[in-house]
Chain A
Amino acid sequence: KAGVTQTPRYLIKTRGQQVTLSCSPISGHRSVSWYQQTPGQGLQFLFEYFSETQRNKGNFPGRFSGRQFSNSRSEMNVSTLELGDSALYLCASSLEALTAEQYFGPGTRLTVT
């Protein structure tokens, strides 16, 4: 079974721009969660989607948003990029919502200059 895939793997953007990252979950998994990983803050939860609905949200500003499609694929968007948004963005999928066993993709490395 194919794992979680994320595109693109690497991205360089300029301050003020916006970015959209994509995640395809493991086949049959209906829940997708997004995390931000930085050396200073570690792994931090952004939000979780299940059945196209946001089920849970972390403590990030409204510039961070996401959505899920009917095929469970998910996208996250960051608007008005700041230098501090440079991070590895990880997507994780699980069978159901609010399930502890999450399986991570390889991440998208975003650099904001």
Chain B
Amino acid sequence: GQQLNQSPQSMFIQEGEDVSMNCTSSSIFNTWLWYKQDPGEGPVLLIALYKAGELTSNGRLTAQFGITRKDSFLNISASIPSDVGIYFCAGRNKGNKLVFGAGTILRVKS
């Protein structure tokens, strides 16, 4: 089936640094979403993108819907300890199913 390639798999960064992660696919998606999951909890929606080229911010988070509709990136500026967790990208395809990436594990050194 369709797959989303999410990278990097994990990151270990210094507090205050900017973080960047991305998702790519060989297939076109109509919507891109970014979620964060903390241990023992369900994923929390961070940003939703609906149009190719769209750039959207949510506080220190910025995400973009790639113009080819096959990729998306998420940036986190000035990371803080509570940013730790697993970040997932998800795309909604023509069949209207939500397909998830494998996740990026973010660890922050304080």
A residues apposed to B, CB below 8 Å? 4, 33, 42-45, 56, 58-59, 90, 92, 98, 100-107
CB-CB contacts below 8 Å: B5-41 with A: 30-31, 33, 35, 40-41
The A/B interface has a contact count, at CB < 8 Å, of: 47
Task: Count chain B residues whose beta carbon lies closer than 8 angstroms to a beta carbon of A.
Answer: 25
Bound state CA distance, A51 and B22, in angstroms? 35
B residues apposed to A, CB below 8 Å? 1, 30-31, 33, 35, 40-45, 48, 50, 88, 90, 92, 95-103
Bound state CA distance, A2 and B100, in angstroms? 25
Query: Which residues of chain A are near B45, meaning CB under 8 Å?
Result: 101-104
Nearest Cβ on chain A to B96's Cβ, whole angstroms: 4
Query: Which residues of chain B are near A33, meaning CB under 8 Å?
Result: 98
Across the interface, A106 reaches (CB within 8 A) one of B31, B40, B101, namely B40
